[in-house]
Amino acid sequence: MVSRILFVSMLALVMGACNNEPKVIEEDDELTILIKKHSPTKSADWYIMPESTDFADIPNQDPTNKVTAAKVELGKMLFFETGIAINSLNPDLRETYSCSTCHIPEKSFTPGRFQGIADGGMGFGHLGEGRLKNPSYEGSEVDAQGARPLPTINLAYVRNTLWNGSFGANGMNTSFKDIFGVADPLTDINSKGIEGLEANNHRALIVHRQEIKKGTIGLFRLHSYV
């Protein structure tokens, strides 16, 4: 009897499910229209990621300093280089942090704790989970940034970086120029007319108390304006 009731109620459930069959949408028309509208070629195919070694097809590059194998190699080195951390507030903490202190590859290039700490931190742990505030710093002196770090991976299509999109002279930031006739003074780096990632990385060096001195990195240039 019990199994019969169970069977009947299961049947009712199945039938009910058939009656309310969700509508299968083959294509999200609104999304497709938007993607095509924003694509420079007006085709959705433009958004298919190029291979990471296909430098020529990586979009939003700084036209004056294009991505090359040498630039990639240099960037990879500098991203993990503690030797450029030379402007720490406390000289004892010189060269103790890098971009990867807050953007850890194994953590999808985010920190190992809620907020990353570069200058003013100590320790690291296995994947950044053990990084703590250094007691020699006041809370306000620590380079921890107010927002949760964004991952620094797959950014080829990011024209305006950071949560609020403030870096990058183009994309949504052109409207400021269109309205006011000058680049946003708060993000003066945008006035150089460069794309988001270049502008962001230039600014990141200052914000994170790092510096690459002219002539110290051999034949390479990180940015055309360094």
* Residue count, binding to ligand HEC (CB under 6 A): 25
CA dist., res. 149 & res. 163, Å (int): 9
Of the candidates 107, 108, 134, 112, the residue with the CA atom closest to the CA atom of residue 124: 112
Decide if 139 contacts 115 (C-beta within 8 A): no
209 forms part of the interface with ligand HEC (CB under 6 A): no
The window from 13-21, 125-133, 161-169, 170-178 that contacts ligand HEC (CB under 6 A) reads 161-169
87 forms part of the interface with ligand HEC (CB under 6 A): no
Which residue among 101, 134, 173, 187 contacts ligand HEC (CB under 6 A)?
101
Minimal distance, residue 170 CB to ligand HEC, in Å: 14
CA dist., res. 54 & res. 67, Å (int): 10
**Size (the chain), residues:** 226
Binding to ligand HEC in span 162-201, by CB under 6 A: 162-163, 197, 200-201
CA dist., res. 202 & res. 89, Å (int): 19
Q: Which amino acid is at 74?
A: L
Tokens 């280089």 locate to 81
158 forms part of the interface with ligand HEC (CB under 6 A): yes
CA dist., res. 78 & res. 151, Å (int): 17
Minimal distance, residue 105 CB to ligand HEC, in Å: 13
Minimal distance, residue 26 CB to ligand HEC, in Å: 31
131 forms part of the interface with ligand HEC (CB under 6 A): no
Minimal distance, residue 181 CB to ligand HEC, in Å: 26
Decide if 172 contacts 193 (C-beta within 8 A): no
CA dist., res. 181 & res. 211, Å (int): 32
Torsion sign over Cα 219, 221, 225, 226: negative
96 forms part of the interface with ligand HEC (CB under 6 A): no
**Closer residue to ligand HEC (CB): 163 or 180:** 163
142 forms part of the interface with ligand HEC (CB under 6 A): no
204 forms part of the interface with ligand HEC (CB under 6 A): yes
Binding site for ligand HEC (CB under 6 A): 99, 101-103, 116, 118, 143-145, 147, 149-150, 152, 155, 158, 161-163, 197, 200-201, 204-205, 208, 210
